[in-house]
Amino acid sequence: MTNVRAALVTGASRGIGRAILLRLARDGFDVAGTATSDTGMQAIDETLRSQGLAGRAYQLRVQDEGSVETLLARMKADDFSPLVLVNNAGITRDNLLLRMSSDEWQEVIDTNVTALYRLCKPLLRAMTKARWGRIVNLSSVVARMGNAGQTNYAASKAAIEGFSRALAQEVGSRNVTVNVVAPGFIETEMTEVLSEEQKGQMMSRIPLGRMGSVDDVASLVAYLASESAGYVTGETIHVNGGMYMA
């Protein structure tokens, strides 16, 4: 790599996004991570500093168009122009469909899917100009397997996969790749809330016999962001210990 490339990771205050941010910083990218709150932004700053790494934090609520506009303006003011975009921020609002409120449905769709439209579109401009770009979107094994109580989440993650295949075809000629990483059962706050019974059921379906770590996911994202992955696009790559074999 001749010049240091900038990378933006959404939802980097904790969990998988935090691990991705650290990994990309270690791999030599000029990184920025987003969080929804000041506390989350402080967490990003402290995490980077404690590991002796440089980088910055921005505030972003992906479901809010105004917040996206503010982020874009701040990045422009900082002359921070990402050629790597990792759409990691995501939420669950689980409920059986018969009991699911329209808010539970809409929040998940806005946060997990519409965010991709809002972020990829403006950030693609610099990537196509540079004739180099990497977009990595986070899906979930649930997009393929389904999961009772997660119709909203499964629909959102399946949409991310379709979106990515279509966009990969649009921007391939500009040397911009668009790929999806689909984690299985990863140890984070998102899975901490599951009961021991739910965790036991999940574990019995994992041939590798353990939950995944955030670094298992970050390694795959780092590969897709690297020069080595230059001929991989439109793919969904699973990192799930064999729980689902595509």
Ligand X SMILES: NC(=O)c1ccc[n+]([C@@H]2O[C@H](COP(=O)([O-])OP(=O)(O)OC[C@H]3O[C@@H](n4cnc5c(N)ncnc54)[C@H](OP(=O)(O)O)[C@@H]3O)[C@@H](O)[C@H]2O)c1
**To which residue do tokens 């609002």 refer?**
93
Kindly identify the residues of this chain, within the stretch 62-81, that bind ligand X according to CB under 6 A.
62-63
* 241 near ligand X, rule: CB under 6 A: no
Pick the binder of ligand X from 191, 229, 236, 243 (CB under 6 A).
191
* 136 near ligand X, rule: CB under 6 A: no
* 23 near ligand X, rule: CB under 6 A: no
CA 11 to CA 33: how far, in whole Å? 7
Across 66-223, where does the E strand assignment appear? 84-87, 133-138, 176-183
CA 176 to CA 32: how far, in whole Å? 20
45 contacts: CB under 8 Å, gap ≥ 6 = 56, 57
Pick the binder of ligand X from 25, 58, 140, 224 (CB under 6 A).
140
Number of residues that bind ligand X (CB under 6 A): 30
244 labelled catalytic: no
Pick the binder of ligand X from 72, 91, 100, 109 (CB under 6 A).
91
Kindly identify the residues of this chain, within the stretch 26-55, that bind ligand X according to CB under 6 A.
35-37, 40
What length does the chain have?
246
CA 16 to CA 4: how far, in whole Å? 23
CA 176 distance to own-chain centroid: 17
Q: Which stretch binds ligand X (CB under 6 A): 78-86, 166-174, 178-186, 228-236?
A: 178-186
Beta partners for 135? 85, 178
* 186 near ligand X, rule: CB under 6 A: yes
Instruction: Quote the least distance from Cβ 187 to ligand X, whole Å.
Output: 7
* 183 near ligand X, rule: CB under 6 A: yes
Beta partners for 230? none
Instruction: Quote the least distance from Cβ 92 to ligand X, whole Å.
Output: 7
* 138 near ligand X, rule: CB under 6 A: yes
The pairing of beta strand 6-9 with beta strand 30-35: parallel
Nearest to 36 by CA among 71, 6, 7, 8: 71
Catalytic positions: 153
Q: Where along the sequence are the contacts to ligand X (CB under 6 A)?
A: 10-17, 35-37, 40, 60-63, 88-91, 111, 138, 140, 183, 185-186, 188-191
